[in-house]
Amino acid sequence: MSLRQHSLQIRLIGLMLAAVLIFGLAAGIQSYHNALHEADEIFDAQLAQLGQTLLAVAIHADDDETASNGPIAHKYQRSLAFQVWSTEHDQPRLLLHSGKSTSVLPDPLPEEGFSHGELQGERWRYYRQRDPSRELEVIVGQSDLARNDLAREVAWHNLQPFLFGLPLLAIAALIAIRLGLQPLRKLAHELQQRSPERLDPVRLEDSPTEIAPVIEALDRLFARVAATLENERRFTSDASHELRTPLAALRAQVQAAMLTENSVERLESLHKALQGTDRMSHLVGQLLTLARLDELSASTHLEPVDLAAVTRECCAELGPEALARNIELELNGEDTAPISGSPDLLRVLVRNLLDNAIRYTPVGGHIIVAIRILKNSAQQLEVCDSGPGVPDEQLAQLGQRFSRFNPTQAEGVGLGLSIALRIAEIHRARIAFSRGTAAGGLRVSAEFPPLSH
């Protein structure tokens, strides 16, 4: 099982103990090196002291060879050896030596003072001192094994309490972490006790500052979910109302066609029923488009698109409808307008803006479509019509779902601008509504950010 699959409590304990263990091992290694250095200093001082003592003893000793064969008083005594030589008349003669040392000089002869050398396959530390006036020389040596053993023992004794205390440290850490994670368990209990309908902010007393960002994020999530659910409830209610009205009218027209015996009245009722069917088909299509857009997020499937080319295509597509109502449709501005977007969604946006303008522009009116590059390199699409416009106090309500102004003047379902606003949001664009200055009707401007490379 990986560490990620463990509980947070086990992860914290494991990481803490691992960090403590690594620190302890590093401290043990450092303790070993420090102990070895101190042992070297102490043993070197002892070698020097022993050498000088032996040299002083040899000055007052007789010339007979003497060996130190006393009992071993300490385990480190076996690693110590010494020799005192007389170099009179350039004839080296051994005067005094330890029981372990041989009767021959070390080969090669150690340098005067402190040095290292090999003896019987072991590495030794030597101290050599001469007395030229009396032609005496002392060599004291000690095996490095003794120094290393001492350093290891010191390091091990320092590390023992730490290693044996790890289980106690783990138990203490477990209790401390369990108490520290108590607010998380309270938060989990609070969320488990909530019903799906409860979307009010979380209230947790005495919560630590580390959990505050989590609670704040949950509160923001609950607020967004509540707003989304409210929008869905309102949308469902409005959609059911909008569908119920044309269905009732369609039923009435069909019943009228069935009851009348006049063929002209029957055809008129069937024609109105067909218009109602077209309106319902348009409404269902808009609802499906809006539902699909609600599932998308910002920057979804965006690619380089020429907004000017998309606008020309939509103008050519809706041009015959404008001509049928004797409406002049004018397109001017930039030949190219590169932006990041979805070609299909941009066609829906431009088509809805043009369709809305054509619906509310009276016969013989004028619609101006313009593409501009702004100072900040953003691309702007502008649609101005010569319709009745919208009062200033109602401009802020434009784009709300199923909101219609002057419903008797033009047919529609009140979703075209809502769809345009949602598509603009997906493209990180901004749509603004204002009174038209040239044509006098409604002015809609959509500002798109520059093409990102």
Residue 216 belongs to a domain: yes
CATH number for 356? 3.30.565.10
pLDDT tens across 397-426, in order? 676 666 665 554 555 556 778 878 888 888
Residues 44 and 152 in one domain: yes
Q: If pLDDT is split at 50, 70 and 90, which confidence band does 69 have?
A: very low
How many other β-carbons are positioned within 10 Å of the β-carbon of residue 307? 26
Shared domain for 247 and 395, answered yes or no, is no
Same domain, 13 and 153: yes
Q: Which of 233, 263, 292 is the last residue of a domain?
A: 292
Instruction: Dump pLDDT digits (tens) for 34-56.
Output: 877 887 887 788 777 777 787 77
If one compares 419 and 293, the residue with the highest pLDDT of the two is: 419
How large a percentage of the chain has pLDDT more than 90? 5
Higher pLDDT, 17 or 300: 17
Domain that holds residue 265: 212-292
pTM of the model: 0.48
Overall number of domains in the chain = 3
Does residue 3 carry a pLDDT above 50?
no
Comparing 308 with 124, the larger pLDDT belongs to 308
Assigned domain for 141 exists:
yes
Same domain, 325 and 288: no
137 and 224 within one domain: no
Last residue of a domain, one of 292, 318, 340: 292
Residue 188 belongs to some domain of the structure: no
Note whether residue 179 is domain-resident: no
Instruction: Using the predicted structure, report yes or no on whether residue 104 has a pLDDT greater than 50.
Output: no
pLDDT at 371: 92
